[in-house]
Amino acid sequence: MDKNNQFGYHAWLQPRVIESLPGFTLSGLEGFAYDECKKGIARLTGGKPGNTNIELSISDTLTHEAYTITGSFDGISIAGGGESGLLYGVYGLLARLSQGQTQFDVTEKPATSRRILNHWDNIDGSVERGYSGKSLFFKDGQIAYDPERLHDYARLLASIGINQICINNVNVYFQSAQLITQKLPDVARIADIFRPFGIKLIISVHFESPALLGGLETSDPLDEDVANWWKQATAEVYKHIPDLAGFLIKADSEFRAGPMSLGRTQAEGANVIAKALKPFGGMAYWRCFVYNCMQDWRDTVTDRPKAAYNYFKPLDGDFDDNVMLQIKHGPSDFQVREPNSPLLGAMDNTRQGMELQVTQEYTGQQKDLYALAVQWEEIFEHPVTSTSKTRDLVGNKIEAVVAVANTGSDANWTGHLLAQANLYAFGKMAWDPTLTAAQVTKEWVALTFGTNPQLFDPMVDMILSSRAVYEKYNAPLGIGWMVNINHHYGPSVDGYEYMKWGTYHRADTKAIGVDRTSAGTGLTAQYHPYVRDMYEDKKTCPEEIMLYFHRLPYNYRLKSGQTLIQYIYDTHFEGVDDVKGFIQTWESIKEHMPIDAYTPVRQRLDAQLKNAEEWRDVVNSYFYRKTGIADEKGRKIY
């Protein structure tokens, strides 16, 4: 089947003629936004003639990416602060028209000027933690792409406000390191595709590039030759891509080289690259995923979640002003449930961005349905201090919202059709972190499937409940990591337990969990006192995250009166039942959607059910065997 005809290719920009719309004419500023408006209107009206005018203009009173939409079917005005704002205004109008809006009095501006996707794409065409086929950018060691598809991809991303993308994996190997030396004309062509959509490229670079590519003896950031190498190489990059947003660097992390191995600080490492980017207005995005991945599991003092704060907080103020620390949202690694990273909002003199993951590495790998928006809403709702929440990006000096992409060469972009909702939600919530999961999910369903209530309500409910369902059959109460090692799909309770990765639940016959309070590893002390106190005390620690901070006996009574062990049993049985409910829901709405939407999702739900059953039986049996405590309800445990 032609990919463009398969349901899902157009995602939330479905060609769907809406009979109630009038015909439109366009006037005002001609250019890219105007053309996009024309195409979008044709998509929604089928080119119906009419005389409702849409006027496009630039307004000096708005910031570059901001826009206003005013008017009604008597006439509509879109004004953008700049070209990007105008384009966002066009997409904003089209989305509102698709959802049946008829009157417009909208002013929008993004909460942050950096809304970024990171692709973990390798030059051989594979995608690290990718579950949607192959790379959109690379193949067999070369830059290779379908220009039409990339153009459509750029439109999808721009329509949800994404304005920067890193095209290659943060794990940079030799060939991808060469992107900044050998392959610049090709990278520049990709930049050309994204540019009109207001999207700038980022390139992941290898920290040891001076040695690896330049033949220098060292990559020591304090070495003058090294600094000069970065300056020259970067100048060359900017000759080809003058508007490159910057470089992304994963250093001293999971066997990647970095300044630490050369006796230098993270700041010294970041600044040498930042100085090379500075004349061109580029940013050094420096990841904070630095921890000891060679820990002895017998070591109960080292606590991996403390690592990022320990390394970076003392350096607050040492980073150049074009370094942006890129901090994973939680102190572990994209688990189903984590507290926020204590580093977020903790540095007054350092620029910071928050990294999320749209790709579902630990959250079902786009086989299982998982509404990330629900989790992100909690992350944004998380207190940084008693008066401020993470969603106050400006107040907490969080200047970028970044996510690892979930897209690839699959016809529907995201593998699981409903995983498109996660990409959509990311763009919308990065633009406006006050949006709720319910709001963005409803928008996505309306734009993708329409608003027929017989389909709309059940689908919205199913998607919104999916995070809680996955959590039920996964590791309990925030403890995380009970996954199969390496590939991270499916259960393995002790898979990481005797390993070097610093991820332990330390379950014995009586209790489970690591005490991270002041009586234990002291992670709590890294938080603002308000948050610290909340986590310190079992009475105030939110129950769903209890096992992240406290070691509990299996007979610990939760607020419901249930014991911990019974909670584990119950949630794991419920999780499976809930997935069966998803299948029923999907069957009940089958007739209201195209068959090529129904079938692939049904197949994935069947796979999800198997996975949930495996989780239920492995986790329940593990704890039954450890504790010898029977299920109160007498259900079968193996």
Q: Which residues sit at the interface with ligand GCW, rule CB under 6 A?
A: 120, 128-129, 170-171, 250, 253-254, 289, 333
Q: Considering beta carbons, is residue 201 or 404 the nearer one to ligand GCW?
A: 404
Nearest to 204 by CA among 117, 313, 312: 117
Q: Considering beta carbons, is residue 271 or 503 the nearer one to ligand GCW?
A: 503
Q: Residue 103 in contact with residue 72, Cβ under 8 Å? A: yes
Question: Does 361 participate in catalysis according to the annotation?
Answer: yes
- CB of residue 317 vs ligand GCW: minimum separation in angstroms? 25
Q: Which residue's Cβ has the minimum distance to ligand GCW?
A: 333
Nearest to 12 by CA among 113, 67, 66, 91: 91
- Across 585-601, b (16+ Cβ under 10 Å) vs e yields bbeebeebbeebbbebb
Residue 532 phi, psi (nearest 5): -55, -50
Which listed residue (361, 368, 443, 570) is catalytic? 361
Q: Considering beta carbons, is residue 120 or 229 the nearer one to ligand GCW?
A: 120
- CB of residue 357 vs ligand GCW: minimum separation in angstroms? 8
Within 10 A of 147 (CB to CB), how many other CB atoms are there? Answer: 11
Copy the structure tokens of residue 236. 């060359």
Copy the structure tokens of residue 268. 């010294």
Report DSSP state, residue 483: B
Q: Considering beta carbons, is residue 254 or 543 the nearer one to ligand GCW?
A: 254
Reduced to 3 states (helix: H, G, I; strand: E, B; else coil), residue 389 is: strand
In Å, what is the CA distance from 191 to each residue of 180, 237, 276? 13, 12, 20
Label residue 61 exposed, middle or buried (CB < 10 Å: 0-12, 13-18, 19+): exposed
Q: Considering beta carbons, is residue 120 or 424 the nearer one to ligand GCW?
A: 120
- CB of residue 562 vs ligand GCW: minimum separation in angstroms? 32
- CB of residue 395 vs ligand GCW: minimum separation in angstroms? 27
Which listed residue (36, 65, 303, 333) is catalytic? 333
Distance of CA 2 to the CA centre of its chain: 29
Question: Does 574 participate in catalysis according to the annotation?
Answer: no
Which listed residue (30, 254, 299, 587) is catalytic? 254
Copy the structure tokens of residue 178. 């060469």
Tell me the CA end-to-end span of the chain in Å, nearest whole number: 45
Q: Considering beta carbons, is residue 179 or 459 the nearer one to ligand GCW?
A: 179
- CB of residue 331 vs ligand GCW: minimum separation in angstroms? 13
Look up residue 561 and give its amino acid. G
Look up residue 437 and give its amino acid. A
Report DSSP state, residue 394: T
- CB of residue 334 vs ligand GCW: minimum separation in angstroms? 7
Reduced to 3 states (helix: H, G, I; strand: E, B; else coil), residue 543 is: helix
User: Which residues are known to be catalytic?
Assistant: 254, 333, 361
